[in-house]
Structure 1
Amino acid sequence: LDLKVDAVRAKKSKHLPTVLTKDEVFLIIKHLSGVHQLLIKLLYGTGLRLSEGLSLRVKDIDFAQKQIIVRDTKGNESRVTMLPESIAEELKIHLQSVKIIHQQDLQKGYGSVYLPFALERKYPRAKYDWIWQFVFPSSNISKDPRSGEVRRHHLHESSLQKALKQAVRQAGIQKKVGCHTFRHSFATHLLQDGYDIRTVQELLGHKDVKTTMIYTHVLNRGGKAVRSPLD
């Protein structure tokens, strides 16, 4: 039985990301506090994904060069994004309190951290080093399922998501906002400020410029986000 099937390949979703205005971003930030506020400022100010922000190690923040090195979790290549000047001082103060926690952990016989890519075998003492500690550590120590070692992991994403949900509600913003919305807003606002798409692509770590192109469709302008010469 010869059934002729006219198969139509499914089209890729043209779903546009939710983007906040600058005012909305700052309104949400105003309704956050402490570490959650600092994290959202960081995500919006750098374009980091939530997982990248939570995985940051002390050595990834370069205050002298005003930059953040984002290590690819898959171990491929890292990229560089800016360290917003407006949060540099706040980050330094935050790291001072994180360092105290780390020192207390060491005194109690803990203080090790999970190291990626078999570095633990290569450098057995590195896991206790300050530079390898997470910038946003968890408030409690737990057993690492990988090694069985009792240590401090990074902050759990659910605690930020919960705080963000509440802040969005309090700010009265009628949009579906998640942590990733700040990355979308970062990209869109840079393009609105006149930065070229290749620069934005590099900052976001997109392999293909087509992925970055979606933000040109979000801009509140006409065809292909090109400004008419008449304007």
Structure 2
Amino acid sequence: MSVYRDKRSPYYQFDFQHEGHRFHGSTKCTSRRDAEKFEAAELEKAKALVKATQRSKASLTIDDVADRLWKDSAQYDSEPKATETNLARLIEYFGKEKQLTEIDHKAAKELVAWRRGQRVSRRGMRTKEAEQALPLVSNATVNRSATKVLQRLFTFAKAEKVVFENEPDWGKLLLAEPEERVRELKSEEANALDDAMRLDFAPFFDFVRASGMRLKECVTLRWSEVDFGTKQIVRLGKGRRRVVFPITAAVREILFPLREQHPEFCFTYVAVYGNKRLGRVRGQRYPLTYTGAKTAWQRLRAGSGLKDFRFHDFRHDFGTKLLRDSGNLKLVQKALNHRDIKSTLRYAHVLDEDVAVAVERLAESRKKSRSKFREAG
């Protein structure tokens, strides 16, 4: 092993072999002593890489690991397009040839800092000034779109028998997230939504409020998943878990009249404008799409003047009202398809009033008992 000068570069180069593998490149150093230190560090990296590769018997470049992860499981995620985007972002940041074994805590921390400095994206053309006015991505977005995606790559590689000597400390990388708020829809807000509602979208939004299902679960609802005989909707929900939702009288009243609108999908809309590229004919009905539903919601929210209310808050509204009516956390957990009841506990605040009434009742009972004791004495 030794470093050397190349006439075509001001830097010393390194070139050595380890276990039959060649490693070479620029040291980016102009002094021999610094170049030799750099080469020694590269040798240690090479030893770790060869050792890990021999165990996994597969390439450990981030691009190849991501490709294997995608083919193995990621393509079957509940939102595969989001997963694909997040993986592509990491590959672009680190570079396709970056070895996963070279990503230590410092490199992962720099990734987090880079992602935190990005702004939320919005569809459509915007001026540079408008783009700069957009807010920075949230801590939750950084965690889910960068840190946890990188951690997933490491976990997948470890399942392939790769041993990482300098794996990042994931717990220290995760950013603090505020507890998810629970927003309930007020009666006057619900009336404002109804007044601003387009008639062809009304069944969809009525179903959202009546079922508490997630946006994607509602948009993609198929007639094959609806059984009016057994009074059940059976489908795969988040995490590909089986979800069974009862067809109540209110839900039946929403869905039953829609049966003739489309042979496969439950919810449709009427095309206001024709579109040759998309094959849309003005006045005809077409299945509602995820993007179309989000656009319809944004217009409805603006038209109703509703503030500080997200689409996902319909689900919070459903859970809150169901818990207030039933007083049963386990029932709400099942209705919302929560894997862990900790997710359901965010709605527990609605029982505070019931607790206060119970405590007051207990205090009154003790008061009466003391009065009877005094009278008896």
- CA-to-aligned-CA distance 1:21-41 (integer Å, 9 cap, x gap): 244234313421334211111
* Cα distance in 1 for residues equivalent to 2:267 and 2:277: 15
Q: Greater helix percent: which structure?
A: 2
Unaligned stretches of 5+ in structure 1? 1-6, 100-132, 144-152
Q: 1:185 and 1:92 mapped to 2: Cα distance?
A: 24
Counterpart pick for 1:39 among 204, 220, 237: 204
Take 1:194 and 1:23, find their aligned partners in 2: how far apart are those partners? 23
Question: Residue 234 of structure 2 aligns to a residue in which SS?
Answer: strand
- How far is 1:74 from its partner? 4.6
Structure number, greater radius of gyration: 2
Q: Which amino acid aligns with 1:165?
A: Q
Aligned-pair CA distance for 1:73: 5.6
Distance in 1 separating the partners of 2:239 and 2:276:
25
Could you tell me which of 252, 255, 262 is aligned with 1:91? 255
Report the identity percentage: 24
SS state at 1:81 partner:
strand
Partner of 1:188: 320
**What letter is aligned with 1:135?**
C
Match of 2:266 in 1: 135
2:355 corresponds in structure 1 to 226
**In structure 2, C-alpha distance between the alignment counterparts of 1:194 and 1:18, rounded to whole Å:** 18
Task: Give the corresponding residue for 2:192.
Answer: 27
Structure 2's unaligned 5+ residue stretches are 1-171, 279-285, 362-377
Cα RMSD between the aligned structures?
3.2
Alignment of 1:63-212 (within 5 A): 63-72=228-237, 74-75=239-240, 77-99=241-263, 133-136=264-267, 154-173=287-306, 175-212=307-344
Using a 3 Å threshold, how does the CA distance of structure 1 residues 70 and 156 change in structure 2: closer, same or farther? same
Partner Cα distance (1:190, 1:161) in 2: 25
For the Cα contact (< 8 Å) 2:206–2:254, is it kept in 1?
no
Q: Which amino acid aligns with 2:310?
A: G
Task: Give the one of 202, 219, 224 matched to 1:59.
Answer: 224
Contact 1:56–1:136 at 8 Å: present in 2 too? yes
Following TM superposition, by how much is the alpha carbon of 1:81 offset from its aligned partner in structure 2, in angstroms? Answer: 1.6
Deviations 1:98-151 (A, max 9, x none): 13xxxxxxxxxxxxxxxxxxxxxxxxxxxxxxxxx22235769999xxxxxxxx
Aligned twin of 2:152 = none
Offset of residue 182 of structure 1: 0.9
Q: Note closer, same or farther for the CA distance 1:195–1:81 as it changes in structure 2 (3 Å cut).
A: farther
Contact 1:40 1:182 in 2 (8 A): no
CA contact (8 A) 1:98 1:137 kept: yes
Indicate the residue corresponding to 2:180 in structure 1. 15
**Equivalences, count:** 179
TM (norm. structure 1) is 0.64
Q: Give the whole-Å Cα distance in 1 for the aligned partners of 2:226 and 2:321.
A: 23
Structure 1 residues 26 and 62, CA gap change in structure 2 (3 angstroms): farther
What does the per-residue CA deviation read over 1:69-117, in whole Å, with 9 as the maximum and x for residues that have no partner?
A: 2323654x31212224234244222121213xxxxxxxxxxxxxxxxxx
The one of the two structures with greater contact order (alpha-carbon pairs below 8 A, sep at least 6) is 1
